[in-house]
Every structure is written in C-alpha cells, then in structure tokens.
Amino acid sequence: MEALLKTEVHQDVAPTKVRWKIFLMMLMLIAINYVDRASLSVAMPMIAKEFDLSPAWQGLLLSSFFWTYAFMQIPGGMLADRFGPRKVIAMSAIGWGFFQAIAGLCTGGVSLLLTRLGLGAAEAPIYPAGGKLNALWMTKHERGRGATLLDGGAPLGAAFGALLIAGLISEMGSWRTSFVVAGVGTVLAGLWAYSYIRNHPHEHPKVNPAEAAYIEASHARELAAEPTTTSGNVLHFLRYRSVWGMFLGWMCFNALFYGLLTWMPTYRSKQYGFDIKQMGGAVFIMFFAGFVGELVGGWVADKWMERGGKQSTVLRTIFGFSSILATVAMYSVTKFNDPTAVVILLSVTLFFLRWCGLFWCVPSILAVRSRIGFLGGFMNLGGNCAGIGVPILVGLIVQATGSYYMALMLFAGAGVGLFISSTVLISYKKLPV
C-alpha cells in the first residue's frame, strides 16, 4: 500500500521523512518524561532514609504523581483537540521540567508530594497530544510504528533514567542535584520541541510537497469513510463496550508496568541487597528490553497489515500472545531466588508487555479524527487509575505482610486482565459518532 501511494503522488520527487524525525523527537520527549518519573523510584531508598519514610508513606509518594496525571488526562486530550498538539506538547514539557527541578529543594515528604502533584498535572497532556500527532502525521499503515515510537519512550526513559539518575547520585553524592539537572534538561527539550513540531504536514518548512501529498492522500481515503458530522457530546462514547475494554486494558497494562517502575528498585534493594549502581544496571537491562520489545511489536503489526492482515485479527493476536508471555514470566519471578534469574524474567516480562504499546493505535481506530484526543485521554485515564492505586496498594501489602509475594501476584493478575480486555472486549472498528 505504501509503495502504491508513493507512485500516485509526486512520482518524480522522493518524499522527505520529516514525520519520522518528529516521532523520533517524541520518542526522546517521552523518554525524558520517564526519566523524570522514574527518578523518584531510583532515589527512593536514599529519600526514605533521609526523610524517615515508612513503606506506606513511600507508596503514597510514588502514587501521588498519578493523582493529578490521571485527573488531567481528558482535559489534556481536549486541549490537544482544541489548540493542536504542538503547543500542548511543548508547554507540557516545560511545565514538568520546572516541577522536576524544584523537587530537588524539598525538605520533607509533604513538600516532595506537592512537587509530584505538579509534575503529574504538567506531564498529563503529552500522551493524548502524541496520539493526536500520530493521527495527523502518519498514514494508516505507519501508525503502529508511530504508536510504538511514541510509547517506546516509556521503557527507554525508565532504562536510561535508572542509569542517569543512579549515575548522577553516585557521582555527585546527592539525589537533589540529579533532580535539578534532569529538570533543566527537560525545559530545554520542550523549547526544542516547539521549534520543530508542527500540527500539520503542510505547515512544516522542511516537508516537501511529495511528503505532504503522500500523507494527505492517505488521510483523504480515511476521511472519506468517516461521517461528515459528529455528535456535540463526546460522552456518547461511554456507551460502547470497546471504549471500556480499551480503558480496562490500558489500566491492566499500566498496573503491571507502573508496578515494576515504582517498586522494583526498592524490591531489589531490600530483597537482594543491590546498591545504587547495581540497581541502576538491573533497571536499565529490564526496561531496555521493554524498549526493544515495543519496537518489535510495532514493526510486526505494520508489516502484517501491509501484507493484508485484518486490523482486528492482527491486534488481537499480538495483544493476546504478548500478554500471555508477559504474565507467565511475571508469575515465574515468584519461583526463583537467584537475582540474575529474576532480572532475566523481569526483562522477558517487559519485552512482551511493551508490545501492547500498540494500544495507542486504538483511539484512532475507534474514533473520528476530531475525537481522538478525547478518547486517548480517556484511555490514559484508565492507565493512570492503576498508577494511583498500585503503588499505594503494594506499599500496604509489603507493610502488612513483610513480603513482596502478594505484590508480584497482583502484577501477574493484571496481565490476565490485559489479555481478556484486549482479546474479548475491544471490536477494533470505528464507532458510531
């Protein structure tokens, strides 16, 4: 299909590849997003000792980011629909960089909690706006790779964030300095994003007519199949099982992913005695495996559909296969005591789990173009309800039982929920408007 489209428009001029450069930039921004998010998890053993925090208090701090992050998902998506993704992405990055930097000035658990609330609110629009950007810049057969480049920043940022923050703490002897450095870098990245990203291909000075025509020809085919009018009430989407399947599936995905992101550094420190350098290396291996898995999943989906695979069959198969393997690997962690085996199993978990980053294709499948931001925000609200609950619940479980066993079983249960939601509940068809 891609080759056919290229021959139809501007046959004599090769299209530029600006859309891929934009999504590499989005990969970088989401990676920075997760560096800033993961910084607290990596530094938590030091912070807990300095501020004398119990496991329940640690869980509260690890969860607090998600309170405002979840609350602002739908408003963030609606802002992207209203003002376009360029401004929303840039302002989001500048805002969360500010809150990350001032966290280094905190003197106790309460002030740190307040900065995490600000960080969550500022970061919230980045994913819905990125989903909107995917719909505006990528063709139908490129959106799988677009979605996984967008979402691939999560494991990539968690991987390099562990090394970066652990390295800064080790070299500078201070978690505070590492937070300030990360925050200032994020603000600069936000300014860079505003200078390069545009809302539409024809607005970008580096897009040649061939690339613009190629993208717009593909979009014209999609738009021809969409209704010409839409309901003024976006809440009508809540009547459909597919929307709730999307919501619950992303919730289960993030219950497992955020559980690993927030508690695994402390788990390895307490259970296996990892120091800050060992912990940074182990987290890097795990989450970099997730990044590779994300790219593999996006490539498999796009290539399968290019060769005639039915969209619903491709996505159900990929989601079902990957969620089963991630769940089995997660459950197996409870059966091993060797730290090397545990790191390998957690890496396998994340490799297959991150195939489900393809969920970011689902809003553009279910909704018309003018509603993608809203539906992406609603989906990410589900994911971040898990972000709110799981860190607190794990903290309470560990404090009550003195063990991580039930927490690991909770993560395995989330994998089962992901399988059911993605293979049974979602239709992968455009919904009536």
pLDDT score recorded for residue 1: 46
Instruction: Determine if the pTM surpasses 0.85.
Output: no
In this predicted structure, what is the pLDDT of residue 163? 75
Query: What CATH number has the domain spanning 14-425?
Result: 1.20.1250.20
Span 127-156, pLDDT tens digits: 889 888 888 898 878 887 888 888 788 788
Q: State the burial class of residue 21 (Cβ atoms within 10 Å of its Cβ: 0-12, 13-18, 19+).
A: middle
Structure confidence at residue 2 (pLDDT)? 47
Q: Does pLDDT of 101 surpass 70?
A: yes
Residue 132: both structure tokens together: 């909107």
What are the residues whose beta carbons fall under 8 Å from the beta carbon of 5, sequence distance 6 or more?
139, 214, 217, 218
d(CA 412, CA 328) in angstroms, rounded, equals 8
Q: What is the DSSP string of 121-135?
A: HHHTTHHHHHHHHHH
- Band (pLDDT 50/70/90 cuts) for residue 9 is very low
Domain ranges of the chain: 14-425
Closest by CA to 169, choosing from 293, 39, 361, is 39
pLDDT of residue 25: 92
Of 276-280, 311-315, 377-381, where does mean pLDDT reach its minimum? 276-280
Q: What pLDDT is recorded for position 269?
A: 65
**Is 193:33 a contact under the CB 8 Å cutoff?**
no
Comparison of pLDDT for 92 and 265, the residue scoring more:
92
Percent of the chain with pLDDT over 90: 30
Single-letter residue type at 161:
G
